[in-house]
Amino acid sequence: MKNEKVVLIATGGTIASKKKADTGLLESGVISGEEIVNYCDIPAHIDVQVESMLQKASMHLTFDDLLALKERIDAYLMDDQVSGVVVTQGTDTLEESSYFMNLITSHEKPIVFTGSQRSPGEVGTDAFINIKHAVLAACCKDLYHVGVVVIFNERIFHSRYVKKEHASNVQGFNSFGFGYLGIIDNEAVHIFQKPLENEYYELTAPLPEVDIIKCYMNADDKYIRAAREANVDGIILEGVGRGQVTPGMMSEIRRCVESGITVVITTSAVEGEVYTTYDYKGSTFDLKQAGVILGRDYDSKKARMKLIVGLASEHKDIAALFNPN
């Protein structure tokens, strides 16, 4: 078996946490990547190069951090000796950062994100096994040209559909409706399915400000109005069902569109697309007539990432970004 080289970029998170002496509570991101890898039982034929880039809780990560991470990933994957890159981070924003990276990188080699639900010092920690499996996946030729994937609890998910499904259980992530791409079993990576295509957008402008506003029964327009008055560039509406909002939101939504703010409607349902099924005030049809873009089956967090990247790229037709056909 030929030797492989994988680069692991550590950014912090529960996977790098330990208890504070004064409170007994976890402090996120205090253990270096070099220290963690020593406990992961990496196969001898894989050389893991570690860069402890950041030591942050994932809710402390910024877009500046992610853009800097992209530069490091690009630099490492240009090296012919590197088989793939693993990124470790906190799980709270992992579904967002992994998909953002999927949209702004274009490499044939695997880029693998992972984290853990339990700290390295806890009984039954998933930190070491998730890193080991991520490293194995980063060497897998079947994951070439797939885009950014997430490894968690022996399963391989695509960043486009992965979602944190549990706050604390080691089975922390899932891809509702689409399933996982494959599994890692006894150090063997098995791929069962792949996406038909992957997306890449070159960033040519500063990242815009895009907010998410959740819709619920009897909701009014104050948050939409606040976003408009704050001069945001885009708004993701997390509607219900097929993409409905309350009648009381519609006037302000129209003002947003008229003022040049890009508005996208998504659904809070974990499966299914927004669709113009109904014709009444606040329906998806009403929203579309007002100039709101239909966000298909994107959840609000993924739609936000796609809109941010779309507005910062040379993509002129944002509606086609979400509805290419």
pLDDT tens-digit map of 165-202: 999 999 999 999 889 999 999 999 999 999 998 899 99
Q: What is the pLDDT of residues 94-147, one digit of tens each?
A: 999 999 999 999 999 999 999 999 999 999 999 999 999 999 999 999 999 999
Cα 267 to Cα 126, 146, 301: the distances in Å are: 32, 26, 11
Give SS3 for 308: helix
Q: Which residues contact 64 (CB under 8 A, 6 or more apart)?
A: none
Q: What is the pLDDT of residues 11-59, one digit of tens each?
A: 999 999 999 999 999 998 899 999 999 999 999 999 999 999 999 999 9
Q: For residue 40, which of 56, 16, 19 has the smallest C-alpha distance? A: 16
User: What pLDDT does 1 receive?
Assistant: 62
Give SS3 for 303: helix
Residue 310 has pLDDT above 90, yes or no: yes
Confidence grade of residue 325 (pLDDT, cut at 50, 70, 90): confident
Identity at 85, one-letter amino acid code: V
Give residue 92's region: left, alpha or beta (phi > 0; psi -120 to 50).
alpha
Q: What is the mean pLDDT of residues 278-298?
A: 98
User: What pLDDT does 210 receive?
Assistant: 98
Mean pLDDT of the chain: 96
Residue 217 has pLDDT above 70, yes or no: yes
Task: Judge whether 61 and 32 are in contact, CB under 8 Å.
Answer: no
| Structural element, H or E, at residue 85 | strand 84-88
Task: Judge whether 283 and 251 are in contact, CB under 8 Å.
Answer: no
Helices (H) and strands (E) in the chain, counts: 9, 16
Could you tell me how many residues make up the chain?
Answer: 325
Half-sphere exposure of 209 (CA within 13 A, CB side): 6
Q: Which residues contact 177 (CB under 8 A, 6 or more apart)?
A: 161, 270, 271, 272, 297
- Other CB atoms within a 10 A radius of the CB of residue 186 amount to 4
Residue 2 has pLDDT above 90, yes or no: no
| Structural element, H or E, at residue 4 | strand 4-12
User: What pLDDT does 323 receive?
Assistant: 86
Q: Give the active site residue among 14, 93, 125, 267.
A: 14
User: What pLDDT does 99 receive?
Assistant: 98
| Structural element, H or E, at residue 112 | strand 111-114
Whether 267 is a known active-site residue: answer: no
Give SS3 for 73: helix
Q: What is the pLDDT of residues 218-250, one digit of tens each?
A: 999 999 999 999 999 999 999 999 999 999 999
Over its C-alpha atoms, the chain yields an Rg (Å, rounded) of 21
For residues 309 and 304, give the distance between their C-alpha atoms in angstroms, rounded to a whole number.
9
Residue 315: both structure tokens together: 């993509």
Identity at 272, one-letter amino acid code: G
Q: What is the pLDDT of residues 57-82, one digit of tens each?
A: 999 999 999 999 999 999 999 999 99
